[in-house]
A and B are shown apart, each in its own frame.
Chain A
Amino acid sequence: DAKTTQPPSMDCAEGRAANLPCNHSTISGNEYVYWYRQIHSQGPQYIIHGLKNNETNEMASLIITEDRKSSTLILPHATLRDTAVYYCIVSAYNTDKLIFGTGTRLQVFP
């Protein structure tokens, strides 16, 4: 399984865009990039995933570089409730096994 590298922590002002980077330079061709987040003491929550195209849903946007070696999760208008640990995960096509790294602790401040 490919490994990911994320900054340990980031701050973002409420209402501004939060851009969370992730490096996955050893990703394989059949591996997807997933983002989950975990709000304190709750189970992780799915945010978005992609293979090679940029993706957008009601929660966030995912930008994957052309060489697929890195990606950025964008929360367009961060709120205080977005304060959480964000995990970037690469996962093989044929399994539900997720390898969580240490994630990025995003603190949204007023």
Chain B
Amino acid sequence: KAGVTQTPRYLIKTRGQQVTLSCSPISGHRSVSWYQQTPGQGLQFLFEYFSETQRNKGNFPGRFSGRQFSNSRSEMNVSTLELGDSALYLCASSLVAGELKKTQYFGPGTRLLVL
């Protein structure tokens, strides 16, 4: 079974631009979460989606948004990029959100560099 895939793997943007990152969960997984990892702040939770609905959101500005499609694939968007948005963006999927405690499987991440 294929793991979590994220595209693109690397991205270079300039300040003020916007970016869309994509995540395909493991087949059958319905919950997708996003995390940002930077050297200064470590791994921080962005949002969690299940059945196309955002279930949880981290403490990030409104420039960070996401969505989930009916096939469970997810995208996150960052508008008006700032230098501080340079980070590794990680996506994780799990089988079902909520009732049963289960593990999350992380993708390799998208490394975003904002110049």
The size class of the interface chain B forms with chain A is 20 to 34
Find A96's partner among B43, B88, B92, B109 (CB 8 Å cutoff): B92
For B80-100 the 0/1 string (1 means CB < 8 A from A) is: 000000001010101001110
* In the complex with contacts A95-B55, A96-B56, A97-B33, A44-B43 CB distance below 8 A: yes
Instruction: Return chain A residues, CB-CB under 8 Å to B101.
Output: 32, 49, 51, 91, 93
* In the complex with contacts A43-B109, A44-B106, A45-B106, A100-B33 CB distance below 8 A: no
B103 touching A49, Cβ below 8 Å: yes
Closest to B109 in A: A43
- Distance in angstroms from B36 CB to nearest chain A CB is 11
A98 touching B44, Cβ below 8 Å: no
Interface size on A, residues (CB 8 A): 24
Closest to B56 in A: A97
A residues with a Cβ closer than 8 A to B are 32, 34, 38, 41-46, 49, 51, 87, 91, 93-103
A98 touching B103, Cβ below 8 Å: no
A and B contact pairs by CB, cutoff 8 A, 11 listed: A34-B103, A43-B109, A44-B90, A44-B106, A45-B106, A94-B98, A95-B48, A97-B33, A98-B35, A98-B45, A102-B42
B90 touching A96, Cβ below 8 Å: no
B44 touching A100, Cβ below 8 Å: yes
Find B56's partner among A38, A44, A95 (CB 8 Å cutoff): A95
